[in-house]
Amino acid sequence: MEMLFIIDLPGSLKEYKDSSIAMMRAAHARGHAVWICQMHDLHLWEGRVVVLATQVDIQSGPAWRIESDSRTRLLADFSAVLMRKDPPVDQDYLATTHLLSLTEEHGARIFNRPSALRDYNEKLTIFHFPQFVAPTLVSASKDLINGFLDEHGDIIVKPLHAMGGEGVFRLRPEDPNRIAILDTLTRHGEHAIMAQRYLPEISAGDKRIILIDGEPVPHALARTPAPGETRGNLAAGGTGRTQPLTERDEEIARTVGRVVREAGIFLAGLDVIGDYLTEVNVTSPTGFVEIAAQSGFDVADSFIAALENSVA
């Protein structure tokens, strides 16, 4: 097969832990041709979506790619197109998903489905599964958020379109910066944010559970906050350790998996704290490398094998 990965600037990827590179290595090892591009390399030309793509040979070590052929091709000519651009899900991102939807009409196989990337906001999707959600408020109103804080006494606030722990704050009623934080995050009441009751179970780790074609990987990556931190994200200094899924993890994963698979979300990363689902990541879920290194379960190879079956 020929696989096209739509990624961030290649030089910005951290080779030693990047899940997209792990996917490419697995695809290359299984005999598939690997091509890469960025969102701005997509063009709508005479009613068809074309892409300026570069074929790469995937290597081990920091110099992970050797670029060879580079040319403009019809997007629908690839066996599979993997949309792996990191958030934010901004206007450029949404425009790209529209181009990808157009090329689906000409037979392209896009993973994840572009309509699902638009419809399944990574923060708001949890409300499709209210039985797994801790007390949560979404609002741009400082009055409502302050009332939620007064009710629960300890909350987490975060933007709806960021990643890696960016813009995440823990607030208590006595925090002298609470008004400034809410003004900044809501842009003075103009942009909705999410407020969730603080879950002390974060001390045991913010678990990343990976779903491949609706099925959970058997090991979760529990990301524990650094000393003095609230966020477990590895990008925010958290420490990851793998652990088998609990019975509750399995319940959450299989329930969510059935729904997102039907929507065309081939790969998802669930965030679970204690017994609660806190996010459903669909843009560029990570954790492949850490889970494989600690558990021996080759997530990337399993992903490519499942992709082969789906395309076939």
- Enclosing H/E stretch for 196: strand 193-197
Query: CA quadruple 63, 73, 213, 262: dihedral positive or negative?
Result: positive
Contact 305, 267 (CB under 8 A): no
Q: In the chain, which residue ranges form alpha helices assigned H by DSSP?
A: 19-29, 91-104, 114-119, 142-152, 178-186, 247-263, 288-295, 299-311
| 123 flagged as catalytic | yes
Helix (H, G, I), strand (E, B) or coil at 209: strand
| 90 flagged as catalytic | no
| 223 flagged as catalytic | yes
Catalytic residue among 25, 65, 123, 178: 123
| 14 flagged as catalytic | no
| 207 flagged as catalytic | no
| 271 flagged as catalytic | yes
Tokens of 52: 């300026």
Catalytic residue among 18, 279, 290, 301: 279
Contact 87, 95 (CB under 8 A): no
Catalytic residue among 104, 206, 213, 271: 271
| 73 flagged as catalytic | no
Rounded to an integer, what distance in angstroms lies between the CA atom of residue 133 and that of residue 130? Answer: 5
Catalytic residue among 85, 109, 113, 223: 223
- What lies within 8 Å, CB to CB, of 184 at 6+ separation is none
Catalytic residue among 104, 113, 208, 213: 208
Catalytic residue among 158, 213, 290, 301: 158
If you count them, how many residues does the chain have?
A: 312
Catalytic residue among 112, 281, 290, 301: 281
Contact 250, 263 (CB under 8 A): no
CA distance between the termini of the chain: 10
| Residue 216 backbone phi and psi in degrees, to 5 | -80, 140
Rounded to an integer, what distance in angstroms lies between the CA atom of residue 296 and that of residue 263? Answer: 30
The residues assigned a catalytic role are 123, 158, 208, 223, 231, 271, 279, 281
